[in-house]
């Protein structure tokens, strides 16, 4: 299960809507050791500038990772939006999944209200996990 701070959820949805029609992306982090409690969302530039794929800016990724580490936290996952499809990992998403311990969060803008879901991707196997918003 992923517990997601409501303020992080709001920032994720806001970025997805602002970046539309392109995919938005970013990283989520947690306090050290709390690998299922996402407290912060860190937006990144989608250097692919695409409505179908995303690629985190590598310099931003490194800067965020250092900052989170300096504050005794951990990067626990990646977030991106799907502009016209379901909030389910595409074959490209599965191929790009770098860490089996991460949460892979997708927000879909296919319908009137944004839909957010989270997955674990391990050796190509996709498992949806519940998301609980916390204050």
The residue range of the domain holding 15 is 2-134
The total domain count for the chain is 1
Q: How confident is the model at residue 35 (pLDDT cuts 50, 70, 90)?
A: confident
Contact between 135 and 28 (Cβ < 8 Å): no
pLDDT band at 32, cuts 50/70/90? confident
First to last CA, the chain: 16
Decide if 66 contacts 83 (C-beta within 8 A): no
Q: What is the CATH number for 26?
A: 3.40.140.10
118, 108 Cβ separation under 8 angstroms: no
């Amino acid at each position: 299960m992923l517990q997601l701070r409501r303020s992080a959820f709001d920032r994720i949805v806001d970025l997805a809507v602002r970046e539309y029609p392109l995919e938005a992306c970013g990283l989520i982090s947690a306090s050290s050791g709390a690998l299922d409690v996402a407290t912060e969302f860190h937006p990144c530039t989608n250097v692919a500038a695409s409505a179908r794929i995303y690629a985190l800016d590598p310099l931003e990724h490194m800067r965020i990772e250092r900052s989170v580490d300096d504050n005794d936290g951990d990067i626990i996952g990646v977030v991106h939006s799907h502009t016209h499809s379901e909030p389910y990992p595409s074959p490209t998403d599965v191929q790009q999944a770098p860490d089996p311990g991460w949460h892979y969060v997708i927000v879909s803008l296919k319908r009137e209200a944004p839909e957010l879901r989270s997955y674990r991707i391990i050796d190509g196997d996709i498992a949806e996990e519940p998301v609980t918003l916390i204050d």
